Amino acid sequence: MANVAHSETSTPVVRRRSAVQKMLENPSMWRGIVAIILFMVFWEVGARFDEWFGKEWTLPFVGLIPPPTDVFAAWLEIIPKAGYWDSWIQSFKRVLTGFGVAMILGIPFGLALAVNKYFRDIFFPPFEILRPIPPLAWVPASLIFWPTNEMSIAFVTFLGAFFTIVINVLGGARTIDVRYLRSAQSMGASQWDLFSKIIFPGTLPSIFTGAAVGMGITWEVVLAAEMISGGGTQGGGGLGFFIWNSYMGGSLTQVVVGMISIGIAGYISSSAIRWLGDVMMPWRRLF
């Protein structure tokens, strides 16, 4: 048995680098940083054109929004304020509630649709009729049939993520390579083994794709719902309300602060999902 002789078995020794080192040595990261700085510079210059050359030099679009330095100043001003962080917490709470419930209900529902023909025959058609309805179209109806504003926001948020997750889980579970199922069955796997050790891990990548997309939709819906329902009165704040309130108060810098805050919040959320995906799917994190 010749085995050691084959070059495929001898792995070269790779110098282990820390995550920070890797990041610093990565040219993509530096390009990204330069791109962000350039973007800021253009924005700053574009926004201040009229200040420097007179009113007739106001540039379209970029000339009408506050420059980044002003935004930054406004941000520094509100960072110590509890109200601003309360908006973060409110929005995050809603996103996590809606998203969490959508995952808890959506994953089993999608898997059940995938593995059981009868279940699919019965539940898939109504699901497909409800799915194309945009979550925001549910806002008036949900305001009517849920007792509190908070619950209607949570419900609409849930809808945003639910359909995406279910469709992804269903698609993922139904496209599992039949050879995996056959070999597991040949080896004597029970129905439960098949489900828990083959179908579920085989569907995980699709679950996380669905989760990533669903998380994006969730943020959109939460923000819109917060603006529409006038969160402050009884639903209570949130970043969407923060933006709307700042707009009503005529503070354009705060509107931009709110927008960037949402960008960051969304980034944190999708990073968390990516991280969770890496933890749960070590086989996808090769090398």
Partner 1 sequence: MNMTTPNATMKQNSAPIVSPGNGSPMGGALSIKNLTKIYDPEGVNVCAVDDCSMEIAAGEVCMIVGPSGCGKTTLLNAIAGFHSITSGEIRLDGDLLCGPGKPKAEQGADRMVVFQNGALFPWKTLAENVAYGPIVQKRMSKSEANDKAEHMLAEAGIGEFCSKYPGEVSSGMARRAEIVRALINEPKVLLLDEPYRAMDALTKSIMHESLLETYDRTKVTIFFITHDLEEAIFLGDKVHIVTTRPCSLKKTVDVNIPRPRTYESLSSEEFRTLMEEVNEAVHEEAVKAFQAGERELA
Is 20 a binding residue for partner 1 by CB under 8 A? The answer is no
Is 56 a binding residue for partner 1 by CB under 8 A? The answer is no
Q: How far apart are CA 253 and CA 81, in angstroms?
A: 16
Whether residue 94 contacts residue 153, with contact meaning beta carbons closer than 8 Å, is answered with yes
Q: Least distance (Å) from partner 1 to the CB of residue 5?
A: 10
Is 170 a binding residue for partner 1 by CB under 8 A? The answer is no
Q: Least distance (Å) from partner 1 to the CB of residue 110?
A: 13
Contact with partner 1 (CB under 8 A) among 49, 92, 93, 185: 185
For partner 1, give the closer residue by CB, 43 or 180: 180
Question: Per CB under 8 A, which region of 14-22, 28-36, 115-123, 143-151 contacts partner 1?
Answer: 115-123
Whether residue 156 contacts residue 143, with contact meaning beta carbons closer than 8 Å, is answered with no
Is 171 a binding residue for partner 1 by CB under 8 A? The answer is no
For partner 1, give the closer residue by CB, 93 or 120: 120
Whether residue 91 contacts residue 240, with contact meaning beta carbons closer than 8 Å, is answered with yes
State how far the alpha carbon of 95 is from the alpha carbons of 92, 161, 218, 246, in Å.
Answer: 5, 10, 6, 22
Widest pairwise Cα distance in the chain = 84
Q: How far apart are CA 44 and CA 200, in angstroms?
A: 50
Binding site for partner 1 (CB under 8 A): 1-4, 6, 8-9, 114-117, 173-174, 176-191, 193-194, 197-198, 201-202, 204, 281-284, 286-287
